[in-house]
Structure 1
Amino acid sequence: MAQVFKPSADVWLRAILVTAALTVASIVVGGWVYLHSDWVTDVGEAPWQPVPFSHRHHAGEMEIDCRYCHYTVEQSAQATLPTAETCMTCHSKVWTEADMLRPVREAYAEGRPLVWNRVVNVPDYVYFNHAIHVDKGVGCTTCHGPIQEMALTYESHSYSMAWCLDCHRDPAPFVRPRDALTDLRWKPTKDQIAANRRRLHAEGVTPETMTDCYTCHR
Structure 2
Amino acid sequence: MAQLFPPWSNAAARAGLFAIVALPVAALGVAMALPFTPHVTGQDRILAQPVPFSHEHHVGGLGLDCRYCHTSAAESRFAGLPPTETCMTCHSQLWTNAPMLAPVRESLAAGRPLHWQRVHNLPGYVYFDHSIHVAKGVGCSTCHGDVARMPLIRQAAPLTMGWCLNCHRDPVPNLRPESAIYDPHWTPPPDQRARGEALIRHYLIATEHLTDCSVCHR
TM range (shorter): 0.7 to 0.9
Aligned to 2:71: 71
Aligned to 1:8: none
Q: Distance in 2 between matches of 1:141 and 1:61?
A: 17
**Who is 1:29 aligned against?**
29
Q: Please state how far the C-alpha of 1:196 moved relative to its aligned partner.
A: 2.2
- TM-score normalised per structure 2: 0.88
Q: Cα distance, 1:125 vs. partner?
A: 0.1
- Give the Cα separation in 2 of the matches to 1:50 and 1:193: 42
Moved more, 82-91 or 190-199: 190-199
- Counterpart contact for 2:172–2:193, Cα < 8 Å: yes
Does 1:100 find its partner at 2:100?
yes
Q: Look up the SS of the partner of 1:184 in the other structure.
A: coil
Q: Which amino acid aligns with 1:138?
A: V
**1:168 matched to which residue of 2?**
168
Shift of 1:113: 1.4
- 1: distance between equivalents of 2:81 and 2:63? 18
Q: Report the number of matched residues.
A: 208
Deviation at 1:17, TM superposition (A): 7.2
Normalised TM-score (structure 1)? 0.88
Which digits, 9 at most, give the CA deviation of each residue in 1:92-145, with x for residues without a partner? 110011111111111112222122110011110000000000111111110011
Moved more, 182-191 or 164-173: 182-191
| Displacement of 1:40 | 2.3
Report the AA paired with residue 114 of structure 1. L
* Gaps in structure 1 of 5+ consecutive residues: 1-12
Q: Deviations over 1:21-80 (max 9, x none)?
A: 423321121112322222222222211110000001001111110110001100010000
Asked if 1:195 corresponds to 2:214, the answer is: no
**Where do 5+ consecutive residues of structure 2 fail to align?**
1-12
RMSD: 2.1
The corresponding residue for 1:61 is: 61
**Structure 1 residue aligned with 2:215:** 215
Q: 1:214 to 1:32 in 2, by over 3 A?
A: same
| 2:6 match | none
Alpha-carbon distance between aligned partners in 2 of 1:97 and 1:171, rounded to the nearest angstrom: 47
Matched to 2:76, the amino acid is S
The question of whether the paired residues in 1 share the 8 Å contact of 2:177 and 2:199 is answered with no
1:198 counterpart letter in structure 2: A
Amino acid at match of 2:62: M
State the SS of the aligned residue for 1:74: coil
**Aligned counterpart, 2:41:** 41
